[in-house]
Amino acid sequence: MTPTPPAQSRSGETMLAIPLTCRLTDSLWRGINERVRETGESVGHLVRAALADYLQLDHGTLFQVSTAGALVEGLYHGEVTVGSLRGHGDFGLGTFDGLDGEMVVLDGHFYQVHGDGKVCEVGDDARTPYAMVTRFPDGPTVELPASADLAELHAQLDKLRDSQNVFYAIRVDGEFATVHTRSVKPTPEGVPLVQAASRQQEFHVGIVRGSLVGFWSPGYLQTILVPGYHLHFLSDDRTSGGHLLGCAGLRLVARVRREAEFRVSLPESPSFLRADLTRDPTAALDQAEKPH
């Protein structure tokens, strides 16, 4: 078989159009067609994704547990275990059962930044009500100029993105002049996120080496996730971290990777099924993300 000239996928990976022939059962073919009708995916895209999952190849898939809107409404019950999340990624962020601190996933390790600022690595039995993970392979880095504040860092990262309509996984490593983070404390189910965030503990560290872990997400999905930049910090010595509120960078390098797919796992708990998630969570998220 002779492949057609290579093309670029949305993730930047070279693609070859190689014709394949195989025999399918009637039920499998019906299932493929039903999925195509439901999602609008092409058969080729569906087969590529299925093969990548089966072969455990990197395919740039961003996997999310629940929605930001559910978190805003106070749905904090941990639906998915860390052990299950490991099957979907080695890089990402989120929170833990009962809104107990911030999650930072780096190099396959899952860390919990508690409400008092202490950092620990968690086991597979820990649970999360909201998380975003992907696989982030090694790749080339881009040196960033020194940044005076978070807005300047965002502007530098903007130059490494080529679209406003897709997802990007973002990792920034190096030395920071200052880092301003927060972590939330355990909160009863049903307490709105804005109220929970008003009790957040904030932390300031200076001259620290560490990593920023997170994502840039398009605004048209603002009812499902945090639009724009959502970053968590973890120090190299694993003594400080949390949700990033501000920073100044000294000597930093960045890796920005476009994500080819976005998948959401929705909870099946009675609280989620009965919740009113029709409200736009944007204003509440913006208020919860601000320093207090």
Instruction: Report the distance separating Cα 144 and Cα 174, nearest Å.
Output: 10
Q: What is the CATH number assigned to the segment(s) 61-289? A: 3.30.1330.80
- Residue bearing tokens 């009500």: 129
Q: Which pLDDT value is given to residue 55?
A: 58
Q: Are 275 and 216 in contact (CB under 8 A)?
A: no
Maximum Cα–Cα distance across the chain: 63
111: closest CA among 195, 193, 183, 179?
A: 183
Q: Please state the pTM of the whole predicted model.
A: 0.81
Beta strand pairing call for 131-134 and 201-217: unpaired
In order, the DSSP letters of the chain are --PPPPEE-TTS-EE----------HHHHHHHHHHHHHH---HHHHHHHHHHHHHT----EEEEES-HHHHHTT-----EEHHHHHTT-SEEEEE-GGG-SEEEEETTEEEEE-TTS-EEE--TT-EESSEEEE-------EEE--BSSHHHHHHHHHTT---SSSEEEEEEEEEEEEEEEEEPPP--TT--HHHHHTT-EEEEEEEEEEEEEEEEE-GGGTTTS--EEEEEEEETTSS-EEEEEEEEEEEEEEEEEEESEEEEE---SHHHHHS---S--HHHHHHHHS--
Sheet bearing 91-95, strands edge to edge: 119-121, 109-113, 102-106, 91-95, 131-134, 61-65, 261-265
12: closest CA among 163, 186, 212?
A: 163
- Amino acid identity of residue 95, one-letter, is T
pLDDT, tens digit only, all 292 positions of the chain: 445 555 444 344 445 566 778 888 988 888 888 877 765 556 776 676 676 666 545 557 899 999 999 999 999 999 899 999 999 999 999 999 999 999 999 999 999 999 999 999 999 999 999 999 999 988 899 999 999 999 999 999 999 999 999 999 999 999 999 999 999 999 999 999 999 888 889 999 999 999 999 999 999 988 898 899 999 999 999 999 999 999 999 999 999 999 988 999 998 888 899 998 888 888 888 787 777 6
Provide the β-strand partners of residue 123.
none
Domain boundaries, the chain: 26-55, 61-289
247: closest CA among 228, 229, 227?
A: 229
Phi first, then psi, for residue 274 (nearest 5°) are -95, -15
Q: Which pLDDT value is given to residue 278?
A: 86
